[in-house]
Every structure is written in C-alpha cells, then in structure tokens.
C-alpha cells in the first residue's frame, strides 16, 4: 500500500502528518490518477507508472507545499521524473526501512479556495508485472488515506487478446486494452490474464524402513482436484498399487524390506484452472456424501478451548476476515522449525502464526459452526516472500483451507494468510499459484505432502511455470472378466472384472455397458467414479439365465469405450443339475454300501 505525507502551509501554521486527520482533510482534497503501462521487451516485463496528483485547496489561507509518497520495498523504482504546473521539478527518492519514498515540492503553488496544484510523476517500477508461464500477473499497491478525493487506477496491457480471468477487486470498466478501477478500497489491485497455468514438477520422496520387519508405506502424490489436473510423466520406481483415498488424495504404496531405504521420483505437469473442472464436479459432489461423516470432527490441531468466545463468527466470511485481520504473520518463524501450533495455541498467540495456523484456525472455527472444512498442504508459487510467504519450513511449502459450499456443490479455496500479508482478496476468488500436494479432511497431519519425506537435509521439491502443453495419455483397459463356465436356468451368479487406468491422467465417470445374449445382467449400465493413473478397480455384477434359456450358449459383452470383453456361458436346465446331483448322491451311496459288503465277505473267508 502506498502511503502519503503532505505538508500544508498557511499564514499561521505548519502541519506535517503521515495520515491526515479528518479536520486536516477538510482543508484540501487530493485526486489521484495512477496509470500503469505494461510492455514486454526481450521477453521481459516492464512497467511504466504515471501518477497525476491533483491537490485542491478548500480554504483560502491553506495550501499544500510538499508531498511525499512511500512505496513498499517490494516494488523498487527507477528513471524517476516529475513536473508540476510550472514545469519540470526535481524529485527526491529516498530508500528507508519502510521502502522507497518520493518527496515532491511545488515550485510556486497557487493559493486560494478551490485553486488546484498538480504533480505529474513518472517512473519505471519492478515486480508489478510478472510473466509466469501461460499467464500474466499484476500486483499494484494502492494509495492509503486519499483525503476524500477520487482515485482512479488504469492498466494498459500490451496484448488486447489476453483476457483477464481473475481481478481483485472487480474492475469498473474494461475497454480495449485498458482496465479501470475507481476508488479501490483494498491494499492491492490484483489481476491475472489467462484462464490456466501450467507448472512442471519434479518431486523426490525419501523413504526408510526403520523396523527389522518388512512394511508397506503409502505416500501422497499431487492429487487431481476441482481446480488442478495432474499429468504423470514418470514414477520411478512404480508403486505396488495406487488408489484414491477418502479425501481424494492420490496415494502410492511401496514395499520396504527391513532397514531398506528407497528414493521415489515423481515427475509431472500440473494444470491449474481459474474455474472448476466440470468432469470433476460430479465426482466431488458424490464423494462429499461420505466425507460429511468426518468433516465436522475435532482432531489434533483442530480444537478450540471455549469456542463460545467466537460464537459471533457464524459464517465463512466472518471467520475468514477475522483471521485475515486479527492474525499477524510471523516472518521470523519461516526459517525456524518451531513446530505446528494448532488452532487453540494460534488463537492465544495471534502474532506468532504462519500459514498452518491460519488454516488450522479456519478449519476448527468453521467446524464449530457446522461448516464442512479441511486443509490443503502444497506449494504456493511466489516471487515475493514478503507479499506471499511460504511457511512450511521443509521445502518452503504452503497451507490454505477449503470449505464446502452446499449451494454450489463444490469445494471453495481460501487463503487468509496471503490476504493478511499482501492485501490481495483471496475470499471472492483464487489465483493460479496454489498447487495441492495433500488434502487433510480426516486427519490434519496425514498424508504428508511431497517435500516432507526426508531422511537427510535435501531439497526435494522443484516447481516452475511452463508454457508447453502437457501431453495427455488416456487409456483404460478391461481385464479378467470372470464368470462361471456353466450355470443353471434359475440361480443368480456373481461376476467380476478389473478395470485398469494405464494412462497418465485421472479418469472420471467411467461408463461400463453390459450387453448379454440369453443372459440377464442386473445392471446394464455402471459408472466408476474415478480412477487414478495406474489404479486397478474390481467391479462386481450379477447375472442369471434369461427366461426359457436352457441347453444353449449365453454370453456377456462388457464394453468400455471402444473395448469389448466377452465371457461365454453354457446354460443348463435346473432339472439337469438336480439329476446330476441325485446321480452323484446315488453313486456315492452305492459305493458306501458296496464297500462294507466286500469287507464282510473278506472277514467271513478268514474265521
């Protein structure tokens, strides 16, 4: 946020203040026009800022002589030029602990009520405009204490075809290559151009069996979510099996011999979307029915003593803004592994928190109000550790909460941490910089996210933006359709088949169709909710002979996409089976009678 310092002169008094009081503000009005001209030169982003600052005297005996703007340290500037109504003036740029301060002084200011004096300021500024893979990202600090005047922010973009997907706050006008905000009230103006972002991930999992007996261990690969699509390129070595757990985590299982160490390498692309993926929405809404059994439970780190203290915080919005405004991020903890405080301790020490405490407190407080909530741990792509810090010490991971919106039937992501540190609105919409590694709804500390599987002090997470289109390989296979070879014409039987995902992406709402000849299948259409890459799932189905089908061949065709697998079955009449059974009983009984008689004859021949 920009801060201003104004010196006001009158015939009798000299006023100097950082935040003008209401009385002083009535002595003048300040109108701002902040225009940012974005450009790309040699594939590098540049931002030219042009400020017009108009100061109107509201009293005949008071006028403004000097004016100061302070910019955050995160946004250094250069090529500074300034003018007032009389011509060019010499600005004074000062670096201080608060950031960069520009001091301006009018050459010969006009005096008198309703007279106006104007500064024209121009400079190049860094870190406002970023090129991140497929998207452009803009973060603009706004002016604080605007003295009852108008404030307009204008952004000029170099490519009119690049559409804005996220804007916080919402622009008042988009016209051609210009975007307008009038009187923004947030600490920053934030905008993203592009509807999705692609990252390249290289993750390392260091596994070690400390026991003297063999064990299986499960690890969490980055999952598919409503806003995230994973394209697996390599898992080496491959897991014994993969599966999707209750929270939707992508789990891989490994066998470890006694005292064995194993290094697992995971490489993939991940696509992050600004809008929910429709193919995942159905799966998510069906899965929530089971998840609701535990999403209101207390758990380690998600407990609050005397929750009635916060009973006035009844909605998601109440809880979110309470944390964003009352917690204070402790940057000193970023480099110290001091452990996770949990919600209860965080609420007692709100000035000693990092991202996990924001998330834990949100989950605990939301669940107290009957709001289904959970935590996500993963990677936050950040180019400024002050604006958007990463707090989980090992491999600088990040944490944020989600809540389930029962009206929209989807999980909504929030980030009170980054709103607290940057002023960016993370309540009404999200960004494209959050990559989920592990979802915690049932347990707050299981499964561990990538970057937390360590045997030594190593860097195990590499994430970078990518412009290349991910390679999608979709391949599902039907295997092992199992039925009886012969059935009778009255009984119902159970069949089984296995579906395997041999592709590199998650498959959703997989339709299976059963077509039978002389056979009735209880459910001709089935759907598999989701399959992770390399996952196998066994499906049961029930079948019986069609009416009046006997002494004939039947078949069941199972179709998955363009694949069909056939099971042939011979149908016998029930009476035939009964006859065989009775014949078997008769033969068995005869043998039992015959054998004793022979033994009796042998005994009689040897008195």
Extents of the domains making up the chain: 3-192, 276-466, 476-572, 575-607
User: Which segment of 251-255, 295-299, 585-589 scores lowest on mean pLDDT?
Assistant: 585-589
pLDDT at 580: 56
Give the pLDDT band of residue 5 (cuts 50, 70, 90).
Answer: very low
pLDDT at 484: 94
Burial string for 479-498 (b: 16+ CB within 10 Å, else e) reads eebebeeebbbeeeeebebe
pLDDT at 583: 57
* pLDDT beyond 50 at 320: yes
What token pair was written down for 484? Answer: 């009886």
Going 321 to 323 to 328 to 331, the CA torsion angle's sign is negative
What CATH architecture applies to the domain 476-572? Sandwich (2.60)
Give the pLDDT band of residue 22 (cuts 50, 70, 90).
Answer: very low
Question: What is the arithmetic mean of pLDDT over 434-438?
Answer: 97
pLDDT at 97: 79
Question: What is the arithmetic mean of pLDDT over 491-518?
Answer: 95
Specify the fold of 276-466: C8orf32 fold (3.10.620)
Could you tell me which residue, 142 or 20, shows the higher pLDDT? 142
Q: Rounded to an integer, what distance in angstroms lies between the CA atom of residue 556 and that of residue 573?
A: 19
Residues 182-197 have pLDDT tens digits of 999 888 899 998 889 9
Question: What is the arithmetic mean of pLDDT over 82-94?
Answer: 93
CATH of domain 3-192: 2.60.40
Secondary structure, 3-state, 72-101: CCCCCEEEEEEEECCEEECCEEEEECCEEE
Task: Write down the pTM of the prediction.
Answer: 0.82
* pLDDT beyond 80 at 497: yes
- Judge whether 414 and 431 are in contact, CB under 8 Å: no
Q: Rounded to an integer, what distance in angstroms lies between the CA atom of residue 247 and that of residue 585?
A: 54
Strands (E) in 396-491, as ranges, are: 398-405, 410-413, 434-440, 461-466, 476-482, 486-488
Q: Rounded to an integer, what distance in angstroms lies between the CA atom of residue 222 and that of residue 438?
A: 7
User: Which segment of 67-81, 274-288, 535-549, 570-584 scores lowest on mean pLDDT?
Assistant: 570-584
pLDDT at 337: 67
Give the pLDDT band of residue 10 (cuts 50, 70, 90).
Answer: very low
Give the pLDDT band of residue 17 (cuts 50, 70, 90).
Answer: very low
Torsion region of 563: left, alpha or beta (phi above 0 gives left; psi -120 to 50 gives alpha):
beta
pLDDT above 70 covers a percentage of the chain that reads 87
User: Which segment of 248-252, 313-317, 427-431 scores lowest on mean pLDDT?
Assistant: 427-431
- Judge whether 334 and 390 are in contact, CB under 8 Å: yes
pLDDT at 86: 93
Enclosing H/E stretch for 149: none
Give the pLDDT band of residue 6 (cuts 50, 70, 90).
Answer: very low
The answer to whether domain 3-192 and domain 276-466 are alike in fold is no
* pLDDT beyond 70 at 282: yes
What token pair was written down for 28? Answer: 């003048």
Question: What is the arithmetic mean of pLDDT over 574-598?
Answer: 57
- Judge whether 143 and 198 are in contact, CB under 8 Å: no
pLDDT at 581: 56
* pLDDT beyond 70 at 504: yes
β-bridge mates for residue 397, sequence order:
392
β-bridge mates for residue 175, sequence order:
178
Q: Rounded to an integer, what distance in angstroms lies between the CA atom of residue 489 and that of residue 559?
A: 25
User: Which segment of 270-284, 296-310, 374-388, 480-494 scores lowest on mean pLDDT?
Assistant: 374-388
H helix count then E strand count, the chain: 7, 37
Q: Rounded to an integer, what distance in angstroms lies between the CA atom of residue 107 and that of residue 82?
A: 12
Could you tell me which residue, 76 or 503, shows the higher pLDDT? 503
Residues 204-238 have pLDDT tens digits of 999 999 999 999 999 999 999 999 999 999 999 99
β-bridge mates for residue 482, sequence order:
496
Q: Tally the C-alpha atoms within 13 A of residue 366's C-alpha that lie toward its C-beta.
A: 25
């Amino acid at each position: 946020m920009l801060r201003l310092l104004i010196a006001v002169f009158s015939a009798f008094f000299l006023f100097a203040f950082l935040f003008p009081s209401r009385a002083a503000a009535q002595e003048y009005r300040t109108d701002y026009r902040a225009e940012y001209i974005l450009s790309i030169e040699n594939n590098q982003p540049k931002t030219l800022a042009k400020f017009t600052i108009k100061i109107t005297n509201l009293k005949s005996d008071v006028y403004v002589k000097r004016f100061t703007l302070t910019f955050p340290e995160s946004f250094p500037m250069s090529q500074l030029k300034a003018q007032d109504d009389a011509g060019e003036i010499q600005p004074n740029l000062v670096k201080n602990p608060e950031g960069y301060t520009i001091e301006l002084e009018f050459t010969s200011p006009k005096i008198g009520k309703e007279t106006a004096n104007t500064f024209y300021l121009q400079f190049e500024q860094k870190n406002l405009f970023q090129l991140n893979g497929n998207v452009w990202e803009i973060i603009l600090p706004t002016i604080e204490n605007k003295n009852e005047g108008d404030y307009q922010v204008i952004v000029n973009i170099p490519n009119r075809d690049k559409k804005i997907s996220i804007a916080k706050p919402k622009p008042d006008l988009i016209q051609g290559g210009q975007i307008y905000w009038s009187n923004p009230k947030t600490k920053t103006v934030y905008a993203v151009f592009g509807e999705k972002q692609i990252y390249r991930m290289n993750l390392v999992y260091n596994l070690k069996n400390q026991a003297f007996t063999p064990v299986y261990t499960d690890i969490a690969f980055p999952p598919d979510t409503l806003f995230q699509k994973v394209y697996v390129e390599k898992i080496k070595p491959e897991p014994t099996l993969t599966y999707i757990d209750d929270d939707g985590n992508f789990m891989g299982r490994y066998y470890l011999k006694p005292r064995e160490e194993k290094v697992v390498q995971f490489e993939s692309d991940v696509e992050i979307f600004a809008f929910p993926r429709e193919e995942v929405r159905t799966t998510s809404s069906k899965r929530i029915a089971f998840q609701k059994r535990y999403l209101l439970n207390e758990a380690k780190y998600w407990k609050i003593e005397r929750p009635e203290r916060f009973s006035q915080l009844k909605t998601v919005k109440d809880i979110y803004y309470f944390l964003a405004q009352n917690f204070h991020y402790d940057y000193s903890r970023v480099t110290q592994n001091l452990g996770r405080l949990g919600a209860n301790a965080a609420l007692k020490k709100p000035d000693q928190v990092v991202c996990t405490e924001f998330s834990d407190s949100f989950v605990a407080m939301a669940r107290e109000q009957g709001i289904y909530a959970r935590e996500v741990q993963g990677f936050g792509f950040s180019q400024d550790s002050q604006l958007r810090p990463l707090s989980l010490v090992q491999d600088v991971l990040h944490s944020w909460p989600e809540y389930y919106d029962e009206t929209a039937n989807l999980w909504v992501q929030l980030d009170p941490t980054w709103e607290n540190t940057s002023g960016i609105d993370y309540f009404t919409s999200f960004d494209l910089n959050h990559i989920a590694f592990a979802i915690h709804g049932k347990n707050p500390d299981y499964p561990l996210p990538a970057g937390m599987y360590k045997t030594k002090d190593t860097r195990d997470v590499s994430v970078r933006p990518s412009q290349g289109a991910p390679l999608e390989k979709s391949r599902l296979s039907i295997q092992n359709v199992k039925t009886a070879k012969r059935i009778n014409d009255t009984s119902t039987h159970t069949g089984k088949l296995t579906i395997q995902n041999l592709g590199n992406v998650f498959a959703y709402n997989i339709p299976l169709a059963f077509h039978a000849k002389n056979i009735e299948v209880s459910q001709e259409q089935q759907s598999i909710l989701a399959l992770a890459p390399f996952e196998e799932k066994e499906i049961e189905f029930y079948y019986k002979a069609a009416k009046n089908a006997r002494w004939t061949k039947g078949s069941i065709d199972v179709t998955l996409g363009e694949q069909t697998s056939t099971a042939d079955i011979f149908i016998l009449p029930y009476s035939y089976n009964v006859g065989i059974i009775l014949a078997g009983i008769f033969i068995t009984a005869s043998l039992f009678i015959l054998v004793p008689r022979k033994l009796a004859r042998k005994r009689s021949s040897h008195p």
